[in-house]
Structure 1
Amino acid sequence: MNSSLDEILDGRRWRLREYPFRHLWAEPVFRRTRYEQMALELRQLLAVDGTDGFQRNMRGYDATGHSFRPGYRGAFEAFLSSEFRDALSRVFDVPVTCDVNASLHHHEAGAASGQVHNDLNPGWFVARPHPDGVNLADSGRCSYRYGTTSEPGLETVERVRAVAVLYYLDNGPWFPGRGGETGLYLDRTTAVTEPTVLVPPTDNGMLAFECTPTSFHTYLASTTQRNSLVLWLHRSKEDAVTRWTDREIVRWARASGR
């Protein structure tokens, strides 16, 4: 199912906005055939039980998720391609590595809103990219949050999130009052219910932004389900520290007893 971006993108303009921080909004992103393939794959995964389907394993986040694993082949491959990474690297003028963390998120109707945060977090990867040129996070071998490994002597590398991408799909018609938006905020202390900008979860729409100390955002509660692909591109830790300083990188809190 691997295709060049030119073959599957819809061709509409991607709009870069500056308020409340620089972010990209694109709609529609893909041609109808590719969008329908992704929506079908999402629905099939939602119907799978067990570890191969969606799991509730995102602490502090009222949603289930399905992570893409190394060697993934399917309808969402375009998001993992070097073409896609290079395009966003140019848009935000951010040097990105081949390291990618990508997953599908599913919020049930009535799922609680999240907390305002900026996504400027570290991520750990096995230091051995696959031949396809993408190094997907491999939680079975290396903890993305902490870098702990299941294999003695396994070489790992610490990265920092550089660009966040949210792609919305299979949600049905959206209208004001339905909820499920991504809220963007000027300040971390702003109430979750008072976002500066609302980005609707429109099917085949994509929100992207550089992860910075002020890229404050969160999920807002919905009256119906909300589905999305959530993806982070990464930069080297050295580049992040040079740009933001080490103290601006938000370390993951460890669970009790860890």
Structure 2
Amino acid sequence: MVTAESVLEAQTTAKEFADLFAHRRWVHRTQPFPHVYARDVFVPEFYQRLTDDLAKLREESPGLFGKVAANYSADGVRLADVPKDSALAVFASRAWHDLVAGIAGITATGDVEGSVHHHAPGAPYGWPHNDLNPAWFPGEPPGPDEVRLPNGTVDIKTGHRADGVDARATVRAVAVLFYLGNPDWEHGDGGETALYDHLGENGRAPQLTLIPPLNNSLLLFEVTPRTWHTFAGGNTKDRNSVVMWVHRTKAEAVDRFGGDRIVYW
């Protein structure tokens, strides 16, 4: 087992966030692929701020929410567009970046991509994918107390940018899903995250593990060629989550997994 506070204590930049955590153990599981699962992640007061700010964002800034992808059933708002004074901005902080990277045991670049997702009731099943995708970020690598978020000057999926704009190629290294603002979930409500150990025939994956979208819970895993997962769909209620990644250099990803294992958009 790992604990959030044990990682926080080892990282000076994250100490200011220690009081936000409920100090419960985060469980490391090995099947169907290595991942960390945690319940009651934040103390009740901070979790309530997260849900209140999510509701406020949807009510006061509905224009920020758009289709996440053409073939994906969620709408969302990018972490880069979340107001800096929102509790949700914690997921775009250097302290959270370092905590995530530390738990996964990887060296991350300081680059963060992510969104707050909303699946309306009746959303369809997704498709198995492993998240081993490239991402391009603008400018020089961020400093040890900084993070870099997409800013629109560089296409994060392709690296396309105007002449004279610098960009760096990275690859997703750690994925995090944090569930919040959902009606009380019961077995049969659907909307879980499905995890698989391999892809079967025709790209279909035998279902092995379902992670329920319980409020104030978290799923975290290092992204590898084996981390097959998807949105299980069939939700009978609204389903909200924060979905985010920290990144490693492309050179490190190629060295570890091989360039042919990176899944280009």
Asked if 1 retains the 8 angstrom alpha-carbon contact of 2:114 and 2:242, the reply is yes
Does residue 75 (structure 1) correspond to residue 87 (structure 2)? The answer is: yes
Does residue 203 (structure 1) correspond to residue 215 (structure 2)? The answer is: yes
Q: Please, which moves more after superposition, 204-213 or 185-194?
A: 185-194
Mark the runs of 5 or more structure 1 residues left unpaired by the alignment.
Answer: 253-258
Runs (4+) of structure 1 exceeding 6 A deviation are: 190-193
Cα shift at 1:186? 1.1
Tell me which of 109, 118, 124 is aligned to 2:136.
124
CA deviation profile, 1:25-63 (whole Å, cap 9, x unmatched): 011110111111111111122224564x21114121111
Q: What does residue 238 of structure 2 align with?
A: 225
Tell me which of 203, 215, 219 is aligned to 2:227.
215
Q: What does residue 102 of structure 1 align with?
A: 114
In structure 2, what is the Cα distance between the partners aligned to 1:143 and 1:48? 28
Does residue 179 (structure 1) correspond to residue 190 (structure 2)? The answer is: yes
Cα shift at 1:181? 0.4
Q: TM-score, normalised by structure 2?
A: 0.87
Q: Please, which moves more after superposition, 64-73 or 99-108?
A: 64-73
Identity of aligned residues (%): 36
In structure 2, what is the Cα distance between the partners aligned to 1:47 and 1:133? 30
Q: Please, which moves more after superposition, 70-79 or 12-21?
A: 70-79
Asked if 2 retains the 8 angstrom alpha-carbon contact of 1:17 and 1:23, the reply is yes
Which has the larger helix fraction? 2
In structure 1, what is the Cα distance between the partners aligned to 2:249 and 2:180? 30
Cα shift at 1:17? 0.3
Counterpart of 1:156 in structure 2: which amino acid? A
Asked if 1 retains the 8 angstrom alpha-carbon contact of 2:198 and 2:206, the reply is no
Does residue 169 (structure 1) correspond to residue 180 (structure 2)? The answer is: yes
Change (3 A) 1:49 1:91: closer
Does residue 91 (structure 1) correspond to residue 115 (structure 2)? The answer is: no
Mark the runs of 5 or more structure 2 residues left unpaired by the alignment.
Answer: 1-13
Asked if 2 retains the 8 angstrom alpha-carbon contact of 1:24 and 1:209, the reply is yes
Aligned length: 248
Counterpart of 1:240 in structure 2: which amino acid? A
Secondary structure at 2:96's aligned position in 1? helix
Asked if 1 retains the 8 angstrom alpha-carbon contact of 2:24 and 2:41, the reply is yes
Counterpart of 2:101 in structure 1: which amino acid? S
Counterpart of 1:118 in structure 2: which amino acid? N
Q: Please, which moves more after superposition, 243-252 or 190-199?
A: 190-199
RMSD, aligned CA: 2.2
